[in-house]
Chain A
Amino acid sequence: MDRRRFLGQAAAIVVLPFGPPFGPASATPQAMAEAIKKVVGDSAVTEGRVRLDMPPLIENGNTVPLVVSIESPMTVADHVKAIHVFNEKNPQPNVFSVRLSARNGKATVGTRIKLGDSQKIVAIAETSDGKFWSASADVIVTLAACLEEST
């Protein structure tokens, strides 16, 4: 083996482990758009009526408080049927979906989520008349949801 071949092979050995990307594949804005399309179909999504409350600057992506509320009378005739929340850069685009009815009285849901990166969060609400409303929030995450097991 001459020196050139040896160097080439040595480089290949060193480079190979870094070739295929490690770790989880991450969702992309396109993946989010597809996930949204799966929920809304061909209906138009109008911005408004939905309020997405999240801190704009997040120190710890492991627990991010999030509250989604929708202006709605929540009567049998006019209520919010479902709320869906999506993200751009976690490994998967879906965060959660909830089903509501007139029994809820108030279209507000709160929970805590994980965020892997600074990104845009989108909340979409489906009202009983079949219309879709949305709100989005851009958040900055300084410490992402941890990728390794804590020891």
Chain B
Amino acid sequence: MANVLVNAPKTAKRGAIVEIKALILHPMETGFRPGTNGQIIPRNIVERFTATWNDAEIFSMDMSPAISANPFVSFFAVAAESGTIRLRWTGDQGFAVEEQVAIAVE
């Protein structure tokens, strides 16, 4: 799935604080809205977003239906060592997407 946009620096100085921004294509259907046929559209949201840096968790977020469609998250992390930042979204209806970016720390 290429429906993910991740913005993180490719290189960073050791100990620097880097910003990581992530955007994913997702309808974030709240489960409170009636559709055109009058029936409530079943809830379909991303429930959880986690980020790991070389498999150590650095950030996690529990979302609710109040998060906008195509959820955007930005957060910071200390560049401790080179490696991969892995971002994972999971949610309703078996939704699971993983994306990784490499970062070189010098």
Contacts and interface: CB of A to CB of B under 8 A. Distances in A.
Contacts of B80: 103
B31 to A, nearest CB: 9
Nearest to B75: A109
The 6 closest A-B pairs by CB, nearest first: A24-B32, A105-B17, A106-B76, A110-B74, A105-B78, A112-B68
Interface stretch (A12-20, A89-97, A130-138): A89-97
A114 interface: yes
B75 A149 contact: no
A120 to B, nearest CB: 14
A72 B28 CA distance: 32
B95 interface: no
Interface of B: 17, 21, 28, 30, 32-36, 41, 53, 56, 58-69, 71-78, 80
Given A24-B32, A105-B76, A111-B72, A96 B60 contact: no
Interface in A76-93: 87, 90-92
B61 A98 contact: yes
Nearest to A108: B76
A142 interface: no
A82 B27 CA distance: 26
A105 B63 CA distance: 22
Given A92-B66, A112-B67, A98 B60 contact: yes
B65 A91 contact: yes
A54 to B, nearest CB: 13
Contacts, number: 109
A30 interface: no
A96 B75 contact: no
Given A96-B63, A98-B60, A148-B33, A104 B75 contact: yes
Nearest to A147: B33
B60 A99 contact: yes
Given A99-B60, A103-B78, A90 B41 contact: no
A105 B74 contact: no
B59 A92 contact: no
A91 B60 CA distance: 24
A9 interface: no
A62 interface: yes
A8 interface: no
B36 A151 contact: yes
Contacts of A94: 64, 66
